[in-house]
Amino acid sequence: MTAFAAPRPSVARSAWWWFADVLIPSALFVGAFLVVATRFKPFPNLAEPLQPVSDAGDLVNQIGFSALFLAISAWVYFHSPGRLTPLLRPALLAVLGWCVVTVFTSWEPELSARRLAFALVVMGIAAMLPLLPKNLRHLAELLAAAALIVLAACYLGVLLAPNLAIHQATDIVEPALAGDWRGIYVHKNGAGASMVLFIFIGLFVARVRSLVLGLFIVALAGTFLIFTHSKTALTLVLPVLLISAIVVRCRRPTIGITIALTTLFALNLFSVGSIFFESIRDVIGAILPDPSFTGRTEIWEFALQHVAQRPVVGYGFAAFWGTDHVVYEMGGGSVWANAAAQAHNSYLNLALTIGIPGSLLAILWLVILPLVDFYRSASDPANSALRLLFLRTCLYGAFASSFESVFFQVTDVWLLILLAVFGLRLLSVMHVRA
């Protein structure tokens, strides 16, 4: 039994028990993953014109996610809902409180309010997911099932509908990506990030459930990752495995946490810092064929200019990129940065939308505290594989956020990051209580 799975009453192993205690939570867990991964729109056609940002939102998403949230909530209600209490830590409450403030100060209050409500639904789903598996083996089976379903869909898309699963020259945005695999996802970078986490899941499954099954998932995800040509994912997968191995072996938490945070600082200095320091630009130009990080430096400059204009509360929760203000009124000297979909850096993205204080609070909750929780739960060898999976997921989320906007984006990667953050918190609390 996992450290975050509550004891269940002793009942006869009847068909009803199997239906209520195994089938329903299993379907909810895998269903939640698939819903977040696809948002009910797998294989989007990128040759179609982009839809403008609307305050009305997507009705299918609103109904679907709400129904999923209510279904999982109903199950948890009858299975010790008090287990969720430890997740309401001060850092999370501070982040959510600050996000609410930025809704009221947003230049698009309705858009911010709707997107914050949607984000809270997704966070609520993620918070309840650790309570669904009945033990560690069951969790491994559910993660394996979710990963294999997505991988199968991605490969079938490449084989049967390549125009919808591989970037094409006819794509309205970024036709230069033609040939890069994206599977069910909107973009090859999203596909690449998911494949990295599937590799981590495969390694976890290999230790907990089945070596053959786990390595099969690793092979499928690794092969697909290569064909996405996602630079961020391909570059970070091995460093995350290395750093996580170092952090696990550090007996002093301060050393392990310092190593992880120093790596994160170095990545941001290497990326966004290249805008300010000529010496860093020279080093990047000497080792990389594209020192602009595929045009990211222009986006970072654009983002930093506007962070400086509203540094405290930002422009409103999730209410900057894609809005009419930005697309049509903020072009300035930029060729295309104002038309970008994101800042390609989570920390900049958060500073833009919820201000620098909000960004710092999010870093505390999503980056620093999970590392602390990892070490607080270190004395339980039964959960070593699970702790390592969560650690790798959190590290990848933190490191990838130096080049992509990962946090608070409704993707399966964000769902798994939240699962890891909440999971480490529950593991640490169970350890302290024990």
Q: Specify the pLDDT at position 14.
A: 63
Which DSSP symbol is given to 181?
B
CA angle in degrees (0–180, nearest 5) for 169-194-289 = 55
Instruction: Tell me which residues of the chain have a pLDDT lower than 70.
Output: 1-20, 50-57, 291, 329, 331-338, 431-434
Q: State the pTM of this model.
A: 0.92
Q: How far apart (Å, rounded) are the C-alpha atoms in residues 413 and 396?
A: 10
Q: Specify the pLDDT at position 200.
A: 98
Give the count of beta carbons closer than 10 Å to the beta carbon of residue 54.
9
Which DSSP symbol is given to 166?
B
What are the residue ranges spanned by the domains of the chain?
15-433
H runs (alpha helix) in 364-411: 369-376, 384-400
Q: How far apart (Å, rounded) are the C-alpha atoms in residues 55 and 80?
A: 37
What does the pLDDT look like over 300-352, one tens digit per residue?
999 999 999 999 999 999 998 888 777 776 755 555 666 777 889 999 999 99
Q: Specify the pLDDT at position 381.
A: 80
Q: Specify the pLDDT at position 433.
A: 46
Q: Which residues are 181's β-sheet partners?
A: 166
CA angle in degrees (0–180, nearest 5) for 347-352-356 = 65
The two tokens of residue 9 are: 């009453």
Q: Specify the pLDDT at position 50.
A: 66
- Contact by Cβ (8 Å): 140, 209: yes
- What end-to-end distance do the CA atoms of the chain give, in Å? 15
Q: Which residues are 166's β-sheet partners?
A: 181
* Amino acid at site 96: L
Tell the burial category of 5 from Cβ atoms under 10 Å away from its Cβ (0-12, 13-18, 19+): buried
Give the position of tokens 């990963």.
147
What does the pLDDT look like over 51-107, one tens digit per residue?
665 556 678 888 999 999 999 999 999 888 888 999 999 999 999 999 999 999 999
- Contact by Cβ (8 Å): 50, 172: yes
Q: How far apart (Å, rounded) are the C-alpha atoms in residues 111 and 103?
A: 9
Total residue count of the chain as it appears in this document: 434
Q: How far apart (Å, rounded) are the C-alpha atoms in residues 6 and 1?
A: 8
Give the position of tokens 């993953």.
33
